[in-house]
């Protein structure tokens, strides 16, 4: 493998999948450069097909660089790596000599990512994540039109770096909107639309995200629908699907967290995901250590290797058709996808439940039905079929129960339909 191939994140995932494996990746970031390097070194040395992560601190995400410097000077802990203020030389040292087959992705959460992307590319890093909706609606009150312009310039900056040794990669975070209680057809639609936005602005390598939700079968159907739609809309560029371990309220017990994480690995296999974002057993308590991150990666790799793919259940293609309806209704609004996204929000064609951003219509309401699946109580102005009768009304107590539904099940406090896998036999795969 040539040295330049470590700068082809999508190509790395494609080669791992050709071996029949799934890439596992932590959500890891540390404020001290030496600790960030130690974390990346440990992940690179893990006996699994891994990708590295540099998660950026919250001050940097908000472009509060004075806050970064104050925290560092007063000995305060940062909740991620300060990639802008750290400087090019320091970041290059953090990622030096970690291996050509160990790609690194920068994760941040900013609706205005230009400073972050300039800093990471200056240091030789070319894979990141985000999107004009997915990094704006949940995390800021920035007008969506401004976020769209920021992400247009970001995509074009990355695309301009494409060459023989560099294949910039951008992952849409659209499949993780609000982390929980968002029915899959909307997650899929936003993920595909953001990927199309990236392609329109020059990117040739993208990934589409989806987060584990409340029902294993529904999530399997969703992942397969996402793959089908990506194959249709993005056939002329390189793409892959990334699954996130549950992004909502996490189980409090180590046993519950382990059960949920094993279910995520099984879902990655059943839904044919290419990359799995892994969580640790301490997610509900604190920022995980390096050792806890690598242990979670090994456990996920074990479960992935031990799981035989289950056949998708026979069911109407409701998720696929509803996601397609949302995508097509948005694309019909303008040939410029950024303008289409902004107008779709204004008209309520895209409406994220429980999202308080001023540009979100806030008419749509979702619930967990009696079978444990996410469904709509009200679709607002979205071009979807009206919800069926019998969906329980939403009260404050019901919302709290829905938010804690997954954690309660995996901690053993409640009933949850669907399979919960037993622990996988312990073994190791060597990369």
Assess whether pLDDT exceeds 60 at residue 282: yes
Write down the residue that tokens 């444990």 correspond to.
372
* pLDDT at position 63: 94
- CA atoms in the 13 A half-sphere facing the CB of 76: 14
Domains of the chain listed by start with CATH number: 3-306 (3.20.20.240), 318-410 (no CATH)
Q: Tens digits of per-residue pLDDT, 290-335?
A: 999 999 999 999 999 998 887 766 555 799 999 999 999 999 999 9
How far CA 224 is from CA of 36, 184, 217, in Å, comes to 35, 11, 11
User: pLDDT tier at 422 (50, 70, 90 boundaries)?
Assistant: very low
Query: Which residues, other chains included, contact 284 with Cβ-Cβ below 8 Å and sequence gap of 6+?
Result: 249, 250, 251, 252, 257, 407
What does the pLDDT look like over 379-401, one tens digit per residue?
A: 999 999 877 666 778 888 988 98
Q: Is the pLDDT of residue 4 over 60?
A: no
Q: Is the dihedral of CA 401, 407, 408, 414 positive or negative?
A: positive
**Residue range 218-236: mean pLDDT, rounded:** 96
CA distances to 104, 205, 247 from 285, in Å: 26, 35, 14
DSSP secondary structure letter of residue 428: -
Question: What's the whole-number average pLDDT of the chain?
Answer: 90
Tell me what the mean pLDDT of segment 28-34 comes to.
95
Could you read off the pLDDT of 327-357 as tens digits, one per residue?
A: 999 999 999 999 999 999 999 999 999 999 9
Q: Which pLDDT score is estimated for 316?
A: 53
**Residue 415: predicted pLDDT:** 47
Each residue of 103-131: pLDDT tens digit? 999 999 899 999 999 999 999 999 999 99
CB neighbours (10 Å) of residue 48?
A: 24
The share of the chain scoring above pLDDT 70, in percent, equals 92
Model confidence, pTM = 0.92
Alpha-carbon span 170 to 331, nearest angstrom: 21
């Amino acid at each position: 493998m040539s040295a330049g191939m470590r700068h082809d994140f999508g190509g790395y995932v494609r080669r791992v999948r050709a071996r029949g494996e799934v890439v596992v990746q932590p959500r890891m970031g540390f404020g001290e450069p030496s600790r960030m390097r130690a974390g990346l070194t440990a992940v690179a040395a893990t006996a699994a097909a891994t990708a590295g992560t540099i998660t950026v601190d919250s001050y940097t995400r908000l472009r509060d660089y004075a806050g970064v410097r104050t925290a560092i000077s007063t000995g305060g802990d940062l909740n991620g790596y300060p990639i802008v203020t750290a400087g090019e030389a320091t970041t290059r040292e953090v990622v030096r000599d970690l291996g050509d087959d160990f790609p690194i992705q920068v994760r941040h959460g900013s609706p205005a990512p230009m400073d972050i992307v300039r800093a990471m590319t200056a240091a030789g890093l070319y894979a990141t994540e985000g999107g004009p909706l997915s990094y704006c609606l949940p995390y800021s009150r920035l007008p969506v039109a401004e976020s769209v312009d920021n992400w247009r310039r970001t995509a074009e900056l990355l695309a301009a770096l494409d060459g023989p040794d560099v294949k910039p990669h951008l992952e849409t975070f659209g499949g993780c909107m609000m982390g929980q209680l968002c029915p899959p057809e909307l997650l899929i639609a936003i993920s595909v639309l953001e990927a199309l936005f990236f392609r329109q602005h020059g990117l040739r390598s993208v990934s589409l995200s989806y987060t584990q939700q409340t029902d294993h079968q529904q999530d399997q159907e969703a992942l397969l629908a996402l793959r089908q739609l990506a194959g249709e809309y993005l056939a002329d560029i390189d793409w892959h699907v990334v699954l996130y371990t549950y992004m909502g309220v996490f189980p409090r017990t180590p046993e519950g967290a382990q059960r949920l994480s094993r279910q995520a690995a099984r879902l990655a296999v059943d839904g044919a995901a290419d990359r799995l974002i892994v969580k640790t057993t301490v997610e509900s308590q604190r920022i995980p250590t390096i050792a806890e991150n690598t242990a979670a990666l090994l456990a996920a790799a074990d479960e992935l290797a031990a799981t035989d793919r289950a056949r998708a259940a026979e069911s109407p293609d409701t998720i696929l058709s509803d996601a397609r309806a949302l995508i097509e209704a948005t694309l019909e609004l303008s040939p410029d996808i950024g303008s289409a996204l902004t107008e779709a929000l204004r008209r309520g064609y895209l409406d994220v439940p429980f999202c308080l951003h001023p540009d979100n219509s806030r008419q749509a309401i979702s619930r967990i039905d009696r079978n444990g699946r996410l469904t709509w109580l009200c679709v607002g102005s979205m071009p979807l079929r009206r919800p069926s009768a019998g969906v329980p009304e939403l009260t404050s107590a019901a919302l709290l129960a829905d938010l804690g539904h997954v954690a309660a099940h995996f901690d053993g406090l409640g009933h949850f339909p669907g399979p919960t896998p037993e622990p996988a036999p312990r073994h190791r795969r060597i990369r």
